[in-house]
Every structure is written in structure tokens, then in C-alpha cells.
Amino acid sequence: MAAPTAARSEAPPASPFSLNEDQLAIRDTAREFAAERIAPHAVQWDQDKHFPVDVLREAGELGIGGVYIDERFGGSGLSRFDSALIFEALATGCPTIAAYISIHNMVAWMIDAYGDDEQRQRWLPSLCSMERLGSYCLTEPEAGSDAGALQTRAVRDGDHYIVNGVKQFISGAGSSGVYVVMVRTGQSGAKGISTLVIDGESEGISFGPDEHKMGWNAQPTRQVVFSDVRVPVADRLGEEGIGFKIAMAGLDGGRLSIGACSLGGAQTALDKSLGYVRERTAFGVHIGEFQALQFKLADMATELEAARMLLWRAASALDAKTPEATRLCAMAKRMATDNGFAVANEALQIHGGYGYLAEYGLEKIVRDLRVHQILEGTNEIMRLIISRGLLEQQS
């Protein structure tokens, strides 16, 4: 997935509104993979609740398992901007699969960003190849938006922690080999949270049943239960007490990725609609000749393009580590997931009764995109982050 070094150095820098040759190649590679290996099976995977681990490993062979991970440890060494292009492209095939790959990448990034070289060497190569899958464990049954209230506890016992607690809504749970887990090692509140990397084969880990969900059926979502799980202190990322910081840093990038997945799914819905209105006739003409539908299509395309530009702006800010990056990531996530769902829902309406049928794939996109407005921080929480950032800027 990484562009050749020589080509990368010779390519002109991208303007804020266009892509250079390397970025186009990266996007097109991901889109071709989505069209060939994901899209033809997406509806069936949804209906069968099938998690296509073999296809994920094929994605790993392309470098998609460690998009922005250090090349020394098997990653592709790309930017957050590049990753936004990749996840949008993958989501044109299936938002569910693209979203899981984005979460897997977030897990790998946390180890790359906060781990030492021994931890990176031990965990990252198999994550980047997707030989082992990763899950991010923050949410609990009684701690969702208020992540600082989490109760899963890790008690020090010599060179190990003893971990007890339950994590809720964990993507990939039961199939993953690596769990990055936020645990309480100290006082109540955010300052008492640390981050552990836990091997999925550790004794004492069990899983709840696969949740029955509205969408995202092609990836498992389960509770992860820790019962006296012994975790080496050496598997802690960073110092004790910085786990909340690690979790929030991961979510900045995660919000961009889930926003990109919304754009990809919605773009497919729009493309399906453009094809449909050219073919469907009513009252003796193709329905694409009706001005009311033309206006709808124009608005759908405009809303997607506006969200895409904001997402690119936020990704560039995160790459540059600018002070407003967190606020911009929240803005982009809110806009991309709201607009993406609205566009998909409008596409279903344009298709009428056919849009409601599973075989057309539209109702699946609508179901898949709805949860994007909730996860990685609800869009109400995004508004809090944005407004607090604005107020702090003025103080």
C-alpha cells in the first residue's frame, strides 16, 4: 500500500482540494480491492452474520492492516490523510468491513504510538499482516460516553496485573488475538486509567454472545469478560495513569476513519441512485428527468462533498498535530456521519419499494451507517467537544 519512495519524493504536494498521483494510486488500490473482494459478498455476509477473516488477511497483504504504522514493524507508514482515502474506498464495498479494519488500525496505532520497541516488535508485525486481529476495549455496560467512569480494574501483583471487569460493544471480540484495554489502576476519574495490551489467549478471558444488531452484522460485537486475567506489567502502554489520554488520542483518528466509512457507504448509495434514475421510468419518462429528483441528487452530492472536504481538513490537521486537530476531528466525524446517513436514507427513498429489498443493498447501507452516529463518541458528544474547544479558544 505504501507508495514507492522515489515516486513519493517526485510527486508534487497535493493541494487542499485535490490528490496527487500517489494518493490517487492508494485510493484506487483500496477501491479495486473493495469492488473485487468485498462488494460482491457484502449482502450475503450481512445476512449470514459472517466475519470474513480470510478477506481481512488479504487486506493485510496489501498493507491495509497497518496503514499509518511504522514501516520498521510491518506497517505502510502512510498518513492520516491517506488512511481517510483508504477507509472511504473500502467502505464503498461494505461499511461494516471497512469500519472493523479502521478499528483494527486504531489498535495497532496505539501500540506503535505509546509502546516501546520491544512491544512494537512483539505485537505489530502480526497486526499489520492481520494474521492477528485487534480489538479496542474502552466502553463498559455502565460507562459509555462517560469513559472516565470505567470500572474494569487491574490490581498490581508483583510483575503482573490481575484484571477483572467487563467491556461492552467490542468489535471483533472472540475473533481477535490482541485486545487494547483501558483499565483502572488508580483513583477514580480519568487520571486513574491505564492501558494494557492483553493476549486474546490469556486464561480468564471469556465472551458474551454475539449481539443481535440493526446493522454491522458482518463483524461480531460481544462483551469481553476478564476474570482474574494475569497480564504482565511489561504489557502496559506507557506509564500508569495515562490510559485516558491514550484512549482519547486514539479516538481522534478513529473519528476520522468512521467518518470516512460513512462517506464511502453513502457514495455507493448515491451511485446506485444515479444508475436507478437513468433506468427507471414513470409517466413515460426516465425519473431522472424529474426536477424534484434532480434537486435531491444535487443536494446529496453537495452534502457528501462538503463532509469530505472537512474530513480532509481534519486529517491534515491531525497529521500536522495542530492545536485544533481534536476539534476538527469532532466536526468532521459529526458532519460525515450525519450527512452520510442522510444521503443513504434519501437513496433508499429514491428507490422506493426496491430500496427496501435486501437484494439491492441499500437498506443494508442505511442500517450499517446508522451506528456511525453513535460510536467513537456520539454526535452529541462531538458537539460538546467542538463547543468546549471554541470556548477555550476565546478564553
Would you please indicate which residues are annotated as catalytic (active-site) residues?
A: 376
Tell me if 101 sits within 8 A of 52, measured CB to CB. no
Label each residue of the chain as H, E or C. Answer: CCCCHHHHHHCCCCCCCCCCHHHHHHHHHHHHHHHHHHHHHHHHHHHHCCCCHHHHHHHHHCCHHHCCCCHHHCCCCCCHHHHHHHHHHHHCCCHHHHHHHHHHHHHHHHHHHHCCHHHHHHHHHHHHCCCCCEEEECCECCECCCHHHCCCEEEEECCEEEEEEEEEEEECCCCCCEEEEEEECCCCCHHHEEEEEEECCCCCEEECCCCCCCCCCCCCEEEEEEEEEEEEHHHECCCCCCHHHHHHHHHHHHHHHHHHHHHHHHHHHHHHHHHHHHHCEECCEEHHHCHHHHHHHHHHHHHHHHHHHHHHHHHHHHHHCCCCHHHHHHHHHHHHHHHHHHHHHHHHHHHHHHHHCHHHCHHHHHHHHHHHHCCCCCHHHHHHHHHHHHHHHHC
Q: How far apart (Å, rounded) are the C-alpha atoms in residues 102 and 84?
A: 10
Tell me if 231 sits within 8 A of 214, measured CB to CB. no
Angle 91-21-259 from CA coordinates, rounded to 5°: 25
Place of cell 449482502: 43
Q: 298-330: buried (b, 16+ CB within 10 Å) or exposed (e) per residue?
A: eebeebbeebbebbbbbbbbbbeeeeebbbbbb
